[in-house]
Amino acid sequence: MKDRSKLITEQRNTNSLQIDTKSISEIVTIINREDANVITAVDKEHINITKAVDLIVKSFNKGGRLFYVGAGTSGRLGVLDASECPPTFGTDPELIRGIIAGGKEALTRSIEGAEDSYDGGELAIRDNGVTALDTVVGIATGGTTPFVHGALVKARSLGAVTIFLCCNPDTDPAEAVDIIIRPITGPEIITGSTRMKAGTATKLILNTLTTAAMIKRGKVYENFMVDLQVKNEKLRDRAERIIMAVTKLDRDYARDLLKKAENNVKIAIVMNKLQVGYKDAEKRLEECGGFVRKALAS
């Protein structure tokens, strides 16, 4: 068995040694003060996160996909981020995918042994049809998860871009990867509970990877998610409000415009701004790669 005692995420946090003796208010204060350090840790990885986004965008532009691979909390966070992209940015569910050790059952209950399978990680990459066009982000906050290492090695052998995300200074992937993102969040408030600070850092970084990549794919105009899918009343309301803000139309006109644009916010904006019909707006957007700003400038 590998000795993980020297990993910073497994060490004791001197700021919470007596946390079991504290009042609820004091416990909350300790947790909040430790969480505040996560932002700084993530910010120090600005350059590596930027490089990672650039590679992800290049994968998308070539027709590739983004895969997150992890176990436990890391795997769940990857699946969560992947599942939020279709409703937020109107992406194909196959474009960004989460792979978790233990499969779907591991999303709602702990299947701890699954993370120990190096071969399982390799198999998951093969079963998901990863190719040289894709990017694979292996998430292991402690940095030692065999399932993640196996996945990264297999992905690299296929020619995929590989990115390793961990929160320890002394752990590396089993083989070379294109980028390592390493926010050092320090010892956890509860020793070894990496669902806390390390998990928070992971969530922040995954949010940044996909959001920045989607912006660079034309999914955002100004700071509006203009490729959202109008599939329920909340999203219909949001779509109408986006159109109202961009075009200065009132609610009734925005609703009518959205209907004429067949529930496509981008097309609605271009139709209004350029005073063109649906087909013309659609064509302009296609010619501009889906970027609203470019379509309006054309």
Q: Could you tell me the residue range of the domain that residue 12 belongs to?
A: 8-215
Domain identity same for 273 and 173:
no
Look-up of token digits 């992890």? 70
3 domain residue, yes or no: no
Whether 115 is catalytic is yes
Domain boundary among 194, 215, 236: 215
Residue 104 confidence (pLDDT): 86
Residue 2 confidence (pLDDT): 64
Q: For the segment 235-285, what is each residue's pLDDT rounded down to a tens digit?
A: 999 999 999 999 999 999 999 999 999 999 999 999 999 999 999 999 999
Looking at per-residue pLDDT, the higher value among 88 and 49 belongs to: 49
For the ranges 14-18, 104-108, 168-172, 208-212, the one whose mean pLDDT is highest: 208-212
Domain identity same for 98 and 159:
yes
Whether residue 4 is predicted with pLDDT greater than 80 in this model: the reply is: no
Mean pLDDT across the chain: 94
Residue 1 confidence (pLDDT): 46
Residue 5 confidence (pLDDT): 67
**116 confidence band (pLDDT: 50, 70, 90):** confident
Domain identity same for 57 and 185:
yes
Instruction: Count the domains in the chain.
Output: 2
Domain boundary among 215, 233, 251: 215
Domain identity same for 34 and 164:
yes
2 domain residue, yes or no: no
280 domain residue, yes or no: yes
Beta-sheet strands, E only, within the chain: 66-70, 96-100, 135-139, 161-165, 179-181, 220-221, 224-225
Domain identity same for 183 and 266:
no
Question: What number is the average pLDDT over the span 169-198?
Answer: 91
Domain identity same for 268 and 175:
no
Look-up of token digits 């233990």? 102
CA 62: distance to chain centroid?
19
Using an 8 Å Cβ cutoff, are 172 and 143 in contact?
Answer: yes
- Which CATH number fits the domain that encloses residue 75? 3.40.50.10490
25 domain residue, yes or no: yes
| % of the chain at pLDDT higher than 70 | 98
Domain identity same for 247 and 165:
no
Whether 240 is catalytic is no
Domain identity same for 96 and 148:
yes
Question: Pairing relation of β-strands 161-165 and 135-139?
Answer: parallel
DSSP assignment of 199-251: HHHHHHHHHHHHHHHHHTTT-EETTEETT----SHHHHHHHHHHHHHHH---H
Domain boundary among 198, 215, 232: 215
Whether pTM > 0.85 for this model: the answer is yes
| % of the chain at pLDDT higher than 90 | 83
Tokens representing residue 234 in the block:
């909340």
Domain identity same for 68 and 140:
yes
- Which CATH number fits the domain that encloses residue 265? 1.10.8.1080
- Given the residues 45, 115, 188, 282, select the one marked as catalytic: 115
Q: For the segment 50-105, what is each residue's pLDDT rounded down to a tens digit?
A: 999 999 999 999 999 999 999 999 999 999 999 999 988 989 999 999 999 988 88
